[in-house]
């Protein structure tokens, strides 16, 4: 799910003349780092045991999810104007912007 989402976001927010370069760097970085992660995980599993290594990887995934959840509002704020400029879901973005603004009901007198 993460791969599809990040791929979609990258392809929609990058200028058309730079899309191929950005996607090639993204793919190279993602595929190029995967063998290093496997090597690191194997070394950790050899040192502390497979079950401990899997537990540590699970904790790392949870921590990564929390960090992503914390940064998600800022990401939305940065991507929303680009989507509006490009005309991607214009009605939804206007509605989402209005819904995300904090409004306080007027005080009763």
**What is the spatial distance between Cα 22 and Cα 32, in angstroms, rounded to a whole number?**
15
Would 107 be classed as within a structural domain?
no
Q: For residue 72, what are its two tokens?
A: 């998600």
**Residue 19 placed within a domain:** yes
Domain that holds residue 20: 2-100
Query: Is residue 109 domain-resident?
Result: no
Q: How many domains does the chain have?
A: 1
Considering the entire predicted model, what is its pTM?
0.59
The most distant pair of C-alpha atoms in the chain lies apart, rounded to whole Å, by 70
Does 14 reside within a domain?
A: yes
Residue 41 lies in a domain: yes
- Each residue's pLDDT tens digit, 88-106: 766 665 666 776 776 666 5
Domain assignment present for residue 86? The answer is yes
pLDDT at 91: 63
Q: Please report whether residue 106 resides in a domain.
A: no
Q: Is the pLDDT of residue 45 over 90?
A: yes
């Amino acid at each position: 799910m993460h791969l599809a989402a990040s791929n979609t976001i990258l392809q929609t927010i990058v200028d058309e003349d730079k899309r191929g370069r950005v996607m090639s760097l993204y793919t190279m970085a993602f595929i190029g780092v995967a063998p290093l992660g496997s090597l690191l995980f194997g070394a950790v599993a050899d040192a502390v045991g497979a079950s401990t290594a899997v537990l540590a990887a699970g904790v790392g995934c949870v921590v990564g999810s929390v960090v992503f959840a914390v940064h998600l509002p800022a990401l939305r704020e940065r991507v929303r104007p680009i989507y509006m400029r490009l005309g991607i879901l214009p009605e939804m973005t206007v509605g989402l912007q209005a819904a995300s603004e904090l409004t306080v009901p007027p005080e009763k007198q």
